[in-house]
């Protein structure tokens, strides 16, 4: 698992990366009440706005951590946004992207580096 400075987590499986938000991000947001995800087949460049999360505290954008094509979305968090608070590192993943350059993930933090980053 890798982590971004934008409080996203990434897990690579072959050339597909699963993306979600961290426990820390979920706690900072408070109760999530709305999630908008991209469509399967959409392509995004790194740093492009890819999803929206709204909570009782604020609205936040999720940016693409890498360049790629959406191959799956988690409809469960659209139907039940509270899952984001209940299991941010598991069942509440946001989307899966097929990426060409898996070495792009080398730039992100390990779990220990992320823990130090948020400390």
Task: List pLDDT tens digits, range 81-106.
Answer: 999 999 999 999 999 999 989 999 99
Using pLDDT thresholds of 50, 70 and 90, give the confidence band for residue 53: very high
pLDDT at 29: 92
Q: What is the mean pLDDT of the chain?
A: 95
Q: Which of 27, 29, 20 is nearest to 51 (CA)?
A: 20
pLDDT at 57: 87
Using pLDDT thresholds of 50, 70 and 90, give the confidence band for residue 55: very high
pLDDT above 90 covers what percent of the chain? 97
Sequence-distant (≥ 6) Cβ neighbours of residue 85 within 8 angstroms: 26, 29, 31, 32, 92
Domain 2-100 has CATH 1.10.580.10: no
Sequence-distant (≥ 6) Cβ neighbours of residue 112 within 8 angstroms: none
Residue 58 has pLDDT above 90, yes or no: no
Mean pLDDT, range 7-35, rounded to an integer = 95
Structure tokens at 118: 């948020």
Query: Residue 106, SS3?
Result: helix
Task: For the chain, give every domain's residue range.
Answer: 2-100
pLDDT at 7: 95
Residue 117 has pLDDT above 90, yes or no: yes
* Spacing of C-alpha 69 from chain mean position: 14
């Amino acid at each position: 698992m890798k982590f971004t400075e934008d409080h996203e987590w990434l897990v690579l499986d072959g050339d597909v990366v699963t993306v979600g938000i961290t426990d820390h991000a979920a706690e900072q947001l408070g109760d999530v009440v709305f999630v908008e995800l991209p469509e399967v087949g959409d392509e995004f460049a790194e740093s492009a706005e890819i999803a929206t999360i709204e909570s009782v505290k604020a609205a936040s954008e999720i940016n693409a951590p890498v360049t790629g094509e959406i191959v799956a979305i988690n409809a469960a968090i659209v139907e039940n946004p509270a899952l984001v608070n209940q299991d941010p590192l598991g069942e509440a993943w946001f989307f899966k992207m097929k990426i060409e350059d898996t070495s792009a993930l080398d730039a992100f933090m390990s779990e220990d580096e992320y823990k130090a980053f948020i400390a």
